[in-house]
Amino acid sequence: MRIEQLQAFIAITETGNFGQAAKKCGVTQSTISRQIQSLEQDLGLPLFHRSTQAKLTLGGEKLLPRAQRICQEWNKASRECADLIAGKQPELCIAAIHSVCAHYLPPILQQFCLDYPEVQLRVTALGSDRALKVLRDGLIDLAIVMNNRFLTASTEIELTVLYEEQVDILMAANHPLSKLTKIPPLELVKYPQIVFKDGYGMQRLVQEWFKNQNVQFKTAMELNTLDAFRGVIRQGEMVALLPHKALIDSYNDPTLAIRPISQSELAKEFTEQELDSVLTRQVVMVTTRDRLMIPPIAHFYQLVKDLGKNSELLTTELIGQ
């Protein structure tokens, strides 16, 4: 059964004969006849009494209201798909990690609203793993997150690397470690750590990094907002490993100090190449290939990509400050 057959069936009931129905559908009368014959074969009973005027049989009367509903739904779905292709999308749903929402997205959001004023933007700050899961479930259109190859390794995924940023140590200004210019891991683990909650990629990254350094660290607290990190760290000797963009608001705060990580104390245990590397995280933009066929989503994606071309240089300059 095809939608064209149901459309032909309804046209005949509305016009009263096969010839007028053919004109209404823009096909030949023989095409209309073949469509109805095929439909009758599928259903196993005649739909019309063949006479000067097409009159519904009992089977045709049963089919008509259902055929009308099916065609109405088909027309509605066709219009909605056409609207998507034309860029008439009512809303665009974005999920991004907190630092991206605060410092990376604002100019893009403003530009998108100017370019697509009829599309409502919905932006939610989520942890990386959670954002990728809701993208996979179809609840959002695009995610800007810390890369997780286990959640992005799919043929349907479109991924663009935006930037890679260094992870540093946030501490109170009067913290004992603040006297050092760089903090070795063996000194760092002497103090309790604050980490992001489960579902945030930073928690996984920090845990894996300490494991690779072959040192144990103590998690004293789990938080999920940058304001909470800053508030707690000001009060004592807890420290946190946080990426650069998450620390931008802390550089000019006299109650806080930021220091890079040094691996010099582990020289005997690691190769020179491993020692030269620093702890970093890779921030990516992720969507699905089918969504990039929708003009507003494709436009937002391109705006972020264009900004991302300059992010590596900008991040390097800021880290060096």
Residue 92 has pLDDT above 60, yes or no: yes
pLDDT digits (tens, 9 = 90+) for 143-171: 999 998 888 878 899 999 999 999 999 99
What pLDDT does 168 receive? 94
What pLDDT does 54 receive? 86
What pLDDT does 309 receive? 65
Residue 262 has pLDDT above 50, yes or no: yes
Q: Which of 84-88, 146-150, 252-256 ranks highest by mean pLDDT?
A: 252-256
Question: Residue 81, SS3?
Answer: helix
- Residues 211 and 233: their CA atoms lie apart, in Å, by 23
Q: Range with the lowest mean pLDDT among 88-92, 240-244, 246-250?
A: 88-92
For residue 266, name the pLDDT band (cuts at 50, 70, 90).
very low
Q: Which residues contact 98 (CB under 8 A, 6 or more apart)?
A: 125, 225, 226, 246
**Pick from 92, 94, 139, 83: which is nearest to 120 by CA?**
92
Residue 116 has pLDDT above 70, yes or no: yes
Q: Which residues contact 40 (CB under 8 A, 6 or more apart)?
A: 46, 47
Q: Please give the CATH number for the structural domain made up of 90-321.
A: 3.40.190.290
pLDDT digits (tens, 9 = 90+) for 175-224: 999 999 999 888 999 999 999 988 788 988 998 888 887 888 889 999 98
pLDDT digits (tens, 9 = 90+) for 18-63: 999 899 999 999 999 999 999 999 999 999 987 778 899 999 999 9
What pLDDT does 224 receive? 87
For residue 310, name the pLDDT band (cuts at 50, 70, 90).
low
> Which CATH architecture is the domain 3-85 placed in?
Orthogonal Bundle (1.10)
Averaged pLDDT score across all residues of the chain: 87
Residue 231: CB atoms within 10 A of its CB come to 11
Top-confidence residue, 320 or 16: 16
Question: Taking the model in full, what pTM does it have?
Answer: 0.74
What pLDDT does 274 receive? 42
Q: Where are the domains of the chain?
A: 3-85, 90-321
Residue 276 has pLDDT above 60, yes or no: no
Cα 291 to chain centroid, rounded: 10
Q: Range with the lowest mean pLDDT among 113-117, 150-154, 315-319?
A: 315-319
